[in-house]
């Protein structure tokens, strides 16, 4: 069963934005997507504008998490109009449904496919448990990498439903999707990335206390 919480063996290094299982660095979901030509949402955008967009996205996520935890408006939304607009769209989404938060911004890894990442939200919405990804200002509709990314996290959490919440400055769009197809697509992507070949040898060098129980099932994928 995939690890759901950060443990002493698995950790996320916030300073370098890298994931580790013991002494071994695991590739991130974003890293694998980039290696396949996905995840280039800022292509053609000047560096300065790119940094602003990334900063707004990060602050919006933090403001959304803060609202879910405390029911209050984060300082980011008080200081930046763009973040405020996105947050109000998020609040409109929450108020329009019965939402129970399971957890948010959790780092996870897959113990036999050797990748890691951090998902946004796991919620129960209108009675359905949904692994939810928050997106801001990226086109009118979700792109392929959005589904692949969510499929990767759903494999780690064993969730059957995934959702993509796209926030705009005026409104929001929320789509719930069966995760099965996108889990399979992600498995094929990881296989072609060569993660198994690279990490299978290293797994033998991990101390026994670090080794997930089903690590011997690498060949099954």
Q: Residue 88: which CATH number?
A: 3.90.320
Closest residue by Cα to residue 109 from 216, 218, 217, 12: 12
For 35-44, 100-109, 123-132, which range has the lowest pLDDT when averaged over its residues? 35-44
Residue 123 confidence class, pLDDT cut points 50, 70, 90: very high
Residue 70 lies in a domain: yes
Residue 154 and residue 130 in contact, taking contact as beta carbons nearer than 8 Å = no
User: The tokens of 143 are what?
Assistant: 């792109």
Of 51-55, 60-64, 125-129, 171-175, minimum mean pLDDT range: 51-55
Instruction: Give the mean model confidence (pLDDT) for residues 90-115.
Output: 92
Lowest-pLDDT range of 18-27, 151-160, 204-213? 204-213
- Is 126 within the bounds of a domain? yes
Is the pLDDT reported for residue 41 higher than 80? no
Domain contains 20 = no
Q: Strands of 18-21's sheet, edge to edge?
A: 10-13, 18-21, 24-26
Give the count of domains, the chain: 1
Using the predicted structure, report yes or no on whether residue 220 has a pLDDT greater than 70.
no
Whether residue 172 lies inside any domain: the answer is yes
Q: Give the up-direction half-sphere exposure of residue 194: CA atoms within 13 A in the CB hemisphere.
A: 3
Whether residue 147 contacts residue 135, with contact meaning beta carbons closer than 8 Å, is answered with no
pLDDT band at residue 212 using 50, 70 and 90 as cut-offs: very low
Average pLDDT, the chain: 80
Of 7 and 66, the one with more pLDDT: 66
With respect to residue 2, please indicate whether it lies within any of the assigned structural domains.
no
Do the domain assignments include residue 185? yes
Of the candidate ranges 14-18, 46-50, 81-85, 165-169, the one whose mean pLDDT is the lowest:
46-50
Residue 119 in this model has a pLDDT that exceeds 90: yes
More confident: 40 or 170: 170
Give the bridge partners for 3, in sequence order. 109
Does the residue 7 lie in any domain?
A: no
Considering 9-13, 43-47, 210-214, the range whose residues carry the highest mean pLDDT is 9-13
| pTM for this entry | 0.78
pLDDT at 144: 83
Return the sign of the alpha-carbon dihedral for residues 137, 140, 145, 148.
positive
Q: What does the pLDDT read at residue 44?
A: 55
Residue 8 lies in a domain: no
Domain that holds residue 86: 27-220
The Cα–Cα gap between 67 and 36 comes to 35
Q: Stretch 189-217: mean pLDDT, rounded?
A: 48
pLDDT at 112: 85
Q: Name the band, by pLDDT with cuts 50, 70 and 90, for residue 213.
A: very low
């Amino acid at each position: 069963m995939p690890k759901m919480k950060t443990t002493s063996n698995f950790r996320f290094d916030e300073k370098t934005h890298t994931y580790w299982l013991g002494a071994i660095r695991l590739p991130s979901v974003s890293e694998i997507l980039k290696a396949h030509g996905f995840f280039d949402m800022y292509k053609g955008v000047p560096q300065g504008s790119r940094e602003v967009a990334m900063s707004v996205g990060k602050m919006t996520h933090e403001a959304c998490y803060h609202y879910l935890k405390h029911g209050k408006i984060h300082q980011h939304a008080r200081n930046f109009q763009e973040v405020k607009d996105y947050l109000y769209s998020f609040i409109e989404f929450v108020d329009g449904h019965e939402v129970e938060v399971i957890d948010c911004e959790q780092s996870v890894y897959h113990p036999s496919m050797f990748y890691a990442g951090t998902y946004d939200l796991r919620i129960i919405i209108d009675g359905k448990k949904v692994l939810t990804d928050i997106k801001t200002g990226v086109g009118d509709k979700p792109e392929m990498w959005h589904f692949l990314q969510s499929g990767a996290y759903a494999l780690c959490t064993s969730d059957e439903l995934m959702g993509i919440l796209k926030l705009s400055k005026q409104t929001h769009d929320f789509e719930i999707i069966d995760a099965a197809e996108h889990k399979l697509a992600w498995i094929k992507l990881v296989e072609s990335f060569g993660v198994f070949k690279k990490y299978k040898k290293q797994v033998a060098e991990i101390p026994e206390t670090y080794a997930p129980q089903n690590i011997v099932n690498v060949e099954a994928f």
